Amino acid sequence: MATTNDLKNGMVLNLEGQLWSVVEFQHVKPGKGPAFVRTKLKNVLSGKTVDKTFNAGLKVETATVDKRDMQYSYLDGDLFVFMDTTTWEQTNVTADVVGDAADFLLEGQDVVVAFHEGTVLYVELPASVVLEISHTEPGLQGDRSSGGTKPATLETGREIQVPLFLEQGTKVKVDTRSGDYLGRA
C-alpha cells in the first residue's frame, strides 16, 4: 500500500483488480478545497489510457512488477522464447502479449520483460533499434509527390517510410514507439 502522495511515473497500481501504470501525475492544491492528485493511467494489459483524480493522501494498492533483462531467442510457432541473461532460464510469451514489439524483434536482441506474480505483462523494447532494409523500390530523383519518402520493408517484415536515397541492404535506426525512421546506422 502507498498513498497518492508517493506516486511516481512507472509505478504500477492495482485498482479494482486491474493493473494500471502511472504515465504522469500532478499534485494540485487549489486555493479553495482539499488538495488532490491528477493522474494519467495506462492499463498494463490492454494499453487503454484513462485520466483519474485521487484525493491527496488516499491509500492506493501497489502491484509488484518484476522487470528482468532478457534476450529474445527465437519464435516457436506463435510463442516468442526469451532467455533470462542471468539465470539462463527460458520464458515463452504469447504473440498477443508481445504485440507490436514483434515488428522490431531480432534474434539475440536484449529487451526488458515485466512479470507480475509469474505472469508476463509486457515486453519493453529499447527506444530505438537498428534494422536492415530487406526490400525497397529504387527512388527516382525528382519524385517529390510523396514528400521525398518511399515505403521500405525491414528484415522483420515491418514497413516504414524512408528517404528516397536509401537502398536495399542499408541499416537504419527505427523508433520502436512510433515506427518512424530516425536515420542511417
What pLDDT, on a 0 to 100 scale, did the predictor assign at position 149? 82
User: In degrees rounded to 5, what are phi and psi of residue 106?
Assistant: -120, 150
What pLDDT, on a 0 to 100 scale, did the predictor assign at position 134? 92
Which of 86, 117, 87, 80 is CA-nearest to residue 101? 80
From the candidate CATH numbers 3.40.50.620, 2.40.50.140, 3.30.390.30, 3.40.50.920, the one assigned to the domain spanning 128-184: 2.40.50.140
Mean predicted lDDT score pLDDT of the chain: 87
- DSSP-assigned letters across all residues of 118-180: TEEEEEE--SEEEEEEEEEPPPPTT--TTTTEEEEEETTS-EEEEETT--TT-EEEEETTT--
Are domains 66-124 and 128-184 of this chain identical in fold?
A: yes
5 pLDDT band (50/70/90 cuts)? confident
Give the domain 66-124 fold: OB fold (Dihydrolipoamide Acetyltransferase, E2P) (2.40.50)
**Cell numbers placing 52:** 483519474
> What sign has the CA pseudo-torsion 102, 106, 112, 118?
positive
- DSSP-assigned letters across all residues of 40-72: EEEETTT--EEEEEEETT-EE-B---EEEEEEE
**Cell numbers placing 56:** 491527496
Summarize pLDDT for 150-177 with one digit per residue, the tens: 889 999 889 999 888 888 899 999 998 8
> What sign has the CA pseudo-torsion 138, 141, 144, 147?
positive
- The CATH class of the 2-60 domain is mainly beta
User: What pTM was estimated for this model as a whole?
Assistant: 0.73
| Domain extents in the chain | 2-60, 66-124, 128-184
**Cell numbers placing 151:** 515505403
